[in-house]
Amino acid sequence: MNIPVTQALIENKYRFSLSRINDALASCFDRQNPVTLYAPARYILEGKGKRIRPFLTLLASEAVCGSSENALHVALAVEVLHNFTLIHDDIMDQAELRHGRPTVHKQWNVNAAILSGDMMIAYAYELALKEKSNRHGELIHILNDANITICEGQALDMELEEKKDATITDYLDMIAKKTGRLISAALEAGGVAGNATDEQLQSLVLFGEKIGQAFQIQDDYLDIMAENGKSGKISGGDIINGKKTYLLLRSLELTSGADFDLVNSIIINKGISADRVPEVKAIYERCGVLEETASLINRNTEEALSAIDHLPYAEGREFLKGFANILMKRDF
C-alpha cells in the first residue's frame, strides 16, 4: 500500500535530514594537528554540498527496516568519501572555485589537498565501523568498491577526452562508474545498515544505477535546453568546451553530410565558438536526439522507481521515489 507523499513532505524531511547530517559532519575531523591535514577536510565539508548521497543512505535504510537510526554513520562515511573525490577531482581539473569558494588545493596547496584527501578515505571507513551492525565487512566492501569504481570512472573520463572515436557505450560506462556508482553505493550501504536482504539490496542498487544514469544524462540535456543562467551555467557550455556528452556522441550516429561534419568538428577541435551553439542545437532538433534523450531519461527514471516497488516499508520507499522525482525535476 502506497502512502501519499507530497513534495512538501519530502522537502521538509530533506531539510530535517540535511540539518542532522551537517550537525554530525561538523563533529568530524576534530583533531587540530597537523593543521594542514585536518583543516582542509573540515573546510571541504563546510561547503554548500546538497548531501544528496547521505540522504539517500538514510532513506534506503528506512525503506528496508523503517528507521535510519543505525544508518547515520554510514551516511557520513558516504559523504566524506564523496568529498575526498571532489578534492582530488579539483586538483586534476585545475579548478579554482567550488561553490564560490577557493578549492582546497588553492586555499592550501596541492600536496596538502592530496594528503588530506587520502586521510579522508580511511576516516570514511572508520565512520562506517562506528555503526551498530554485524555487517561491517559488507559496508567496508561497498565503500572500497565504490572508491575503486570512481577511480576507474575518472580514468575513463580522462581517456575519453583524448579519444577521437568515442562511442555512446564508452560514455555510459564512464558515467556509470564516475557518477553512478557512489549513488548506488550510498543506497546499498543504507540497505546494509538497515539489515536488508540480498534481493532488497539488488533493488536499491538498480534504483541507484538507473537514477545515476538519468541524472547525468539530464545534466547533458539541460546544458543545451536551459536558458542562460537557469541551469547554473552558460547554455551550450558543453558544446563550447567540446565535452563529449550523450547528446554529442549520439548525434554523430544520427547525422550525415554537413550536419555530421559540424558535430564531428566539435570533437576534432575540442570545442566550438559560442555563436555557433544555435546551429548545433538545430542539428540536435533535426536528428531527433533531443526527443530521444528526453525519452531515455524518462525511461531510466521509471525503471528506477519500479525497481523498489517491493521494498517493505512504504514510507521510506515512497520518500525515495519522491526524492528521485525531485532530482529529475518531474511532477508527482
Which domains, ranges and CATH numbers included, belong to the chain? Answer: 7-327 (1.10.600.10)
Number of H helices, E strands in the chain: 16, 2
C-alpha separations of 37 from 78, 116, 121, 130, 278 in Å: 20, 5, 13, 22, 47
* pLDDT value, residue 321: 96
DSSP string, 199-257: HHHHHHHHHHHHHHHHHHHHHHHHHHHSPTTTTSS-TTHHHHTT---HHHHHHHHH--H
Q: Which strand (E) or helix (H) includes residue 284?
A: helix 277-287
- Residue range 220-235: mean pLDDT, rounded: 72
pLDDT higher than threshold 90 for residue 230: no
Q: pLDDT category, 231, cuts 50, 70, 90? A: very low
Q: pLDDT category, 46, cuts 50, 70, 90? A: very high
- Residue range 285-289: mean pLDDT, rounded: 97
* pLDDT value, residue 332: 41
pLDDT higher than threshold 50 for residue 188: yes
Distance CA 179, CA 20 (A): 24
Helix axes 52-65, 314-327, angle to 10 degrees: 150
- Residue range 198-207: mean pLDDT, rounded: 98
pLDDT higher than threshold 70 for residue 3: no
How would you label 244-266 residue by residue, b for 16+ Cβ within 10 Å and e otherwise? bbbbbbbbbebbeeebbebbeeb
Query: Could you tell me what percent of the chain has a pLDDT over 70?
Result: 96
Residue at 41: amino acid letter? A
* pLDDT value, residue 232: 52
Task: Find the radius of gyration of the CA atoms of the chain.
Answer: 20
- Residue range 41-68: mean pLDDT, rounded: 96
- Residue range 6-31: mean pLDDT, rounded: 95
- Residue range 177-182: mean pLDDT, rounded: 96
Q: Are 280 and 286 in contact (CB under 8 A)?
A: no
More confident position, 5 or 231: 5
Across the chain, mean pLDDT equals 94
